[in-house]
Structure 1
Amino acid sequence: MSLNRFIEAQQRDYETALQEVKQGKKINHWMWYIFPQIHSLGESYYAKYYALKSIEETIEYLNNDYLYNNIILICEALLEINHSDVEKIFSDIDAIKLRSSMTLFNYVTEYYPNQINKTNHIVFQQVLNKFFCGQEDELTLEIIYKERDNFQF
């Protein structure tokens, strides 16, 4: 599946998402394609459509300049918020999605750094530290570990 699904959705809604994060409250529906998760976590059409299908696709996502710059910028906006109560910004379900997304990106940048052509990898861990006491999402890690066993570059 092509990364175009993310690019097209973000071209439409990224500025709205960024402004909502900067204002400290998510209002609209954009979580799936701004903070994507690994496959097998969501049941809805959008959760499945915008899920990253593999470690390889996650690496491709992070190597895409447009998508990478967007995820870094919105993570930096999260880090600038003057509190650490993630549920003041997102619903409880969207907070879980954020944690999952940050877990995925943090894992891939930590364990596959030579495959990623970017340098600002610490932001994902910083979001986990600020909003989730540094704790990664266990379900995401379980899927990653299964996926990792089948992944080779």
Structure 2
Amino acid sequence: MSDGDLERFVRAQEGVHDQALAELRDGRKRSHWMWFVFPQLAGLGRSATAQHYAIDGLDEARAYLAHPLLGPRLVEAARVAATAPARSADDLFGGIDAMKARSSMTLFAHAAEDAAPFRAVLDRWFHGTEDPLTVRLLDVGG
């Protein structure tokens, strides 16, 4: 996996990442950045945008985490999300995007050497429960 394959995320996050963090810190997502800030596993999203930003599998997820810009940004966004001042995942992300957040955190919890930031989001907002469809698509059991 080359860094060039991940450039779609770098380009998409340009000028948006700070806004995403600000919204999470405020406890409410208000704009459209979910696909490329908390990407999901391929096979989940149906829209063209979701498919464009879908992560192919554990190898691409690990490459994303190892990327010098994307990895630290994802960890930071997860840490902010885990401590956001909201009452529920639906309040923080909105209903549809809460499902996307859960699937993204499940994917990266399985891909990361240090899953703690992603598990913290799952623990805080989803009672520690992984997204079952993501787990099934990863074929990791559980």
Identify whether the pair has TM-score above 0.5, normalized to the shorter chain. yes
**Residue of structure 2 equivalent to 1:31:** 34
**Structure 1 segment 48-87 matched on structure 2, within 5 A:** 48-87=51-90
**Residue of structure 1 equivalent to 2:49:** 46
User: Shift in Å at residue 80 of structure 1?
Assistant: 2.1
**Residue of structure 1 equivalent to 2:133:** 139
The one-letter amino acid paired with 1:32 is W
User: Shift in Å at residue 83 of structure 1?
Assistant: 4.5
How far apart in 1 are the matches of 2:116 and 2:25?
Answer: 20
Question: Please, which of 100, 110, 117 is the counterpart of residue 107 of structure 1?
Answer: 110
Gap runs ≥5 in structure 2: none
RMSD: 1.4
The one-letter amino acid paired with 1:134 is G
SS of the residue 2:102 aligns to? helix
Q: Indicate if the aligned counterparts of 1:35 and 1:97 stay in contact, CA closer than 8 A.
A: yes
Question: Please, which of 4, 7, 30 is the counterpart of residue 4 of structure 1?
Answer: 7
Gap runs ≥5 in structure 1: 114-119, 149-153
In the superposition, the TM-score normalised over structure 2's length comes to: 0.91
Q: Indicate if the aligned counterparts of 1:84 and 1:130 stay in contact, CA closer than 8 A.
A: no
Moved over 4 A (4+): none
User: Shift in Å at residue 54 of structure 1?
Assistant: 1.9
1:16 to 2:10 alignment: no
How far apart in 1 are the matches of 2:110 and 2:62?
Answer: 11
Whichever of the two has the greater Rg, that structure is 1
Q: Indicate if the aligned counterparts of 2:58 and 2:111 stay in contact, CA closer than 8 A.
A: yes
CA-to-aligned-CA distance 1:62-100 (integer Å, 9 cap, x gap): 000211111111111112224451111111100000000
How far apart in 2 are the matches of 1:98 and 1:126?
Answer: 12
How far apart in 2 are the matches of 1:92 and 1:122?
Answer: 24
The one-letter amino acid paired with 1:62 is L
SS of the residue 2:39 aligns to? coil
CA-to-aligned-CA distance 1:107-147 (integer Å, 9 cap, x gap): 112xxx3xxxxxx53110111000000000000011101xx
User: Shift in Å at residue 53 of structure 1?
Assistant: 1.1
